[in-house]
């Protein structure tokens, strides 16, 4: 049913072999589907040594060699998308079609980095003395430690691995223990594609222990983390204490601004579908819905209608549009938002929890719409990371821009308007790493993905992707 799980160190897959193991649970059924070996300190040291050894030759590898391996992984990913997707549905819970699309669309990160790694250019500086030759080159930073989360287990891991390997770095990846299958598949595909031993290593275990051990190691020169703001800040502080570079893709609380001159019903339907993708467990999920007064009732009616018609169930069953939450702790986390909303005078227009039958099977929580909330309520100010959406009114552009920018987050944002002038004004004013106007267009391999303010540092994807994995060297020669 479910795939085999292992550590991957120095080109070898290492099964539990007496090590401690953690259980992998299907969130739609509560069944244990696999066991994951926990890396010992000896394993972590072996991964560090392997990555350091491999870096001495991989840093000098031809970009053509790196590109060939990345391209091969892109091809293998597409050919295995169904099998990888099925395992993602089993350990993470999202509907099978969504899981397969995650693999096929995000295999483009392997293709993109294969192309871009051939274009890591330096530059020649016109020296002030004609006898002097001055140039700038960009070199791989060294051994990287990466920590990828459970919500998009293939997507979040392949981005980090492709960027590190394409840049000429080596990498130790700690994947998500709760949804490990996609990272295992990535390791297998790089192995088959001919990646030299030690360039990629995969470890599992206690996240806090492993991250601290790796970040403190003098061998590691750079970290990359995707996850919550709280953990991101702790890892950034540790990285700072040891002067390590960091790429951090953290939480968001994406505002949605729907102006009355937009195609309001179409926007409502699109946004409701987008909101329930991966049960709302998406860092760029639309989160605070501000709708201009005259459009409010029309938007709310359509939005609630679509949200409440979503078919919730086991992601392997045909017709399922939204699966369970990925892990059991997310259910009380959602309930906390609902309880606070009710206490603050909000109205729950649909969802609000799960039926007894759903709850007896897995971590289900139905799509929920909330109205009448003040801006300082929990749902309007903390990241829900689930299928729950507050809808509130606004009067004009200046007011809604101020409210949209009022939180410490700055990841994605969404604007729906028929006016070019409004689109221009709002996109310039929003404090966000990504602004989507009248459609959803971020997260592609060729576009930079990242946040500002508490939402993180650096970009993954786009021509910016390698910036976090390269250091600048200036050479002056007479
Ligand atoms: P969490 O903060 O405990 O964990 C989030 C992720 O970070 C997990 O993958 C976890 O394994 C990892 N992690 C936790 N502590 C770590 C540490 N000390 N070192 C290294 N990795 C560590 O929260 P959770 O309950 O798993 O998820 C809920 C919250 O996490 C959400 O509210 C959301 O903000 C955030 N999250 C964000 C993303 C994203 O794409 N930005 C992805 C997953 C989770």
Q: What is the DSSP string of 331-396?
A: HHHHHHHHHHHHHTT-EEEE-SS--HHHHHHSS----EEEES--TTSHHHHS---SSEEEEEEE-S
**Which residue of 106, 156, 225, 227 sits with most ligand 1 atoms within 8 Å of its CB, as the best mutation to test the pocket?**
227
Please indicate whether residue 117 is annotated as part of the active site. Answer: no
Measured N-to-C along each axis, helices 81-92 and 96-106 cross at an angle, to the nearest 10 degrees, of 130
Please indicate whether residue 283 is annotated as part of the active site. Answer: yes
**Contacting residues for 65 by C-beta, under 8 A, at least 6 apart:** none
**Contacting residues for 324 by C-beta, under 8 A, at least 6 apart:** 27, 28, 93, 279, 314, 315, 362, 363, 364, 365
Residues having CB closer than 6 A to ligand 1 are 147, 149-151, 176, 207-208, 211, 226-228, 231, 235, 249-251, 283, 329, 383, 385
Cα–Cα distance, 207 to 212 (Å, whole number): 8
pTM above 0.75, yes or no: yes
Among 67, 69, 1, 80, CA closest to 33: 1
Tell me phi and psi for residue 24, to 5 degrees.
-105, 130
Look up tokens 């329930």; give the residue.
Answer: 276
Sequence length of the chain is 478
Of the residues 102, 178, 249, 383, only one is catalytic, namely: 249
Tell me phi and psi for residue 424, to 5 degrees.
-65, -45
Strand 21-25 with 32-37, pairing: antiparallel
Architecture of 254-445 per CATH? 3-Layer(aba) Sandwich (3.40)
Long-range contacts from 448-454, C-beta under 8 angstroms, 24+ separation = 449/159, 449/249, 450/247, 450/249, 450/411, 451/249, 451/250, 451/252, 451/409, 451/410, 451/411, 451/412, 452/410, 453/408, 453/409, 453/410, 454/229, 454/233, 454/250, 454/251, 454/408, 454/409, 454/410
Look up tokens 């998009």; give the residue.
Answer: 152
- Tokens for 219? 């061998």
What was the pLDDT predicted at 424?
98
Among protein residues, the one whose CA lies closest to atom 6 of ligand 1: 227
Q: What is the CATH number of domain 7-250+454-477?
A: 3.40.605.10
- Name the 3-class secondary structure at 338: helix
Cα–ligand 1 centroid distance for 329 (angstroms): 12
Tell me the mean pLDDT per 10 residues along the chain, length 478.
Answer: 96 97 98 98 98 98 98 98 98 98 98 98 98 98 98 98 98 98 98 98 98 98 98 98 98 98 98 98 98 98 98 98 97 98 97 97 98 98 98 98 98 98 98 98 96 97 96 98
- Tokens for 110? 């392997």
Cα–ligand 1 centroid distance for 151 (angstroms): 9
What was the pLDDT predicted at 175?
98
pLDDT in tens, 317-333: 999 999 999 999 999 99
- Where do the structural domains in the chain lie, given as residue ranges? 7-250+454-477, 254-445
Of the residues 169, 283, 383, 460, only one is catalytic, namely: 283
Among 217, 127, 230, CA closest to 172: 217
Cα–Cα distance, 76 to 268 (Å, whole number): 37
Look up tokens 């007011």; give the residue.
Answer: 399
* CB-CB neighbours of 342 under 10 Å: 13
Cα–ligand 1 centroid distance for 456 (angstroms): 13
Among 68, 164, 77, CA closest to 114: 68
Q: 2 and 87 in contact (C-beta within 8 Å)?
A: yes
Query: What is the enclosing helix (H) or strand (E) of 182?
Result: helix 181-192
Cα–Cα distance, 109 to 74 (Å, whole number): 8
Cα–Cα distance, 369 to 347 (Å, whole number): 8
**Which residue of 149, 281, 328 sits with most ligand 1 atoms within 8 Å of its CB, as the best mutation to test the pocket?**
149
Look up tokens 């060939």; give the residue.
Answer: 68
Among protein residues, the one whose CA lies closest to atom 22 of ligand 1: 207
- Tokens for 159? 């981005």
Angstrom CA distances, 248 to 202, 230, 232, 233, stand at: 19, 11, 7, 9
What was the pLDDT predicted at 354?
97
* CB-CB neighbours of 57 under 10 Å: 12
What was the pLDDT predicted at 294?
98
What was the pLDDT predicted at 343?
98
Cα–ligand 1 centroid distance for 199 (angstroms): 25
**Contacting residues for 428 by C-beta, under 8 A, at least 6 apart:** none
Sign of CA dihedral 226, 232, 238, 243: positive
Per CATH, 7-250+454-477 and 254-445 having the same topology is answered no
Query: What is the enclosing helix (H) or strand (E) of 348?
Result: strand 347-350
Sign of CA dihedral 41, 191, 67, 96: negative
């Amino acid at each position: 049913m479910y795939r085999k799980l292992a550590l991957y160190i120095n080109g070898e897959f290492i099964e539990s072999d007496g090590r401690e193991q953690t259980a992998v649970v299907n969130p739609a059924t509560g069944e244990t589907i696999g066991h994951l070996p926990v890396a010992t300190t000896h394993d972590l040291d072996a991964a560090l040594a392997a990555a350091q050894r491999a870096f001495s030759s991989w840093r000098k590898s031809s970009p053509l060699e790196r590109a060939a391996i990345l391209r091969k992984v892109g091809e293998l990913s597409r050919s295995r998308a169904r099998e990888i997707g099925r395992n993602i549905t089993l350990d993470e819970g999202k509907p099978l079609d969504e899981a397969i699309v995650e693999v096929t669309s995000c295999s483009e990160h392997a293709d993109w980095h294969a192309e871009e790694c051939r274009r890591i250019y330096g530059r020649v500086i016109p020296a002030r003395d004609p006898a002097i030759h001055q140039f700038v080159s960009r070199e791989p930073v060294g051994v990287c430690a990466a920590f990828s989360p459970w919500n998009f287990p293939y997507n979040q891991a392949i981005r980090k691995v492709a960027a590190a390997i394409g840049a000429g770095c080596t990498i130790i990846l700690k994947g998500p223990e709760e949804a490990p299958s996609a990272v295992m598949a990535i390791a297998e595909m790089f192995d088959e594609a001919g990646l030299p031993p030690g360039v990629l290593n995969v470890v599992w275990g206690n996240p806090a222990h492993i991250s601290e051990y790796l970040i403190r190691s003098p061998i590691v020169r750079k970290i990359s983390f995707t996850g919550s703001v709280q953990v991101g800040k702790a890892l950034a502080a540790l990285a700072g204490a040891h002067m390590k570079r960091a790429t951090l893709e953290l939480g968001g609380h994406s505002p949605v601004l729907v102006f009355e001159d937009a195609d309001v019903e179409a926007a409502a339907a699109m946004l409701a579908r987008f909101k329930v993708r991966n049960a709302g467990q998406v860092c760029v999920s639309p989160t605070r819905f501000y709708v201009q007064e005259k459009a409010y009732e029309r938007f709310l009616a359509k939005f609630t209608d679509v949200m409440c018609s979503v078919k919730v169930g086991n992601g392997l069953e045909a017709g399922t549009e939204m699966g369970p939450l990925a892990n059991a702790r997310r259910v009380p986390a959602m309930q906390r938002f609902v309880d606070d909303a009710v206490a603050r005078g909000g109205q729950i227009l649909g969802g609000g929890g799960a039926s007894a039958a759903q709850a007896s099977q897995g971590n289900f929580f139905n799509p929920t719409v909330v109205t009448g909330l003040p801006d300082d309520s929990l749902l309007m100010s903390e990241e829900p990371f689930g299928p729950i959406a507050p809808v509130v009114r606004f009067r004009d552009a200046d007011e809604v821009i101020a409210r949209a920018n009022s939180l410490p987050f700055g990841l994605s944002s969404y604007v729906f308007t028929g006016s070019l002038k409004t689109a221009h004004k709002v996109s310039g004013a929003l404090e966000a790493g990504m602004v989507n106007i009248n459609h959803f267009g971020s997260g592609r391999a060729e576009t930079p993905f990242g946040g500002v303010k508490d939402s993180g540092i650096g970009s993954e994807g786009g021509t910016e992707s390698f910036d976090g994995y390269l250091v600048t060297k200036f050479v002056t020669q007479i």
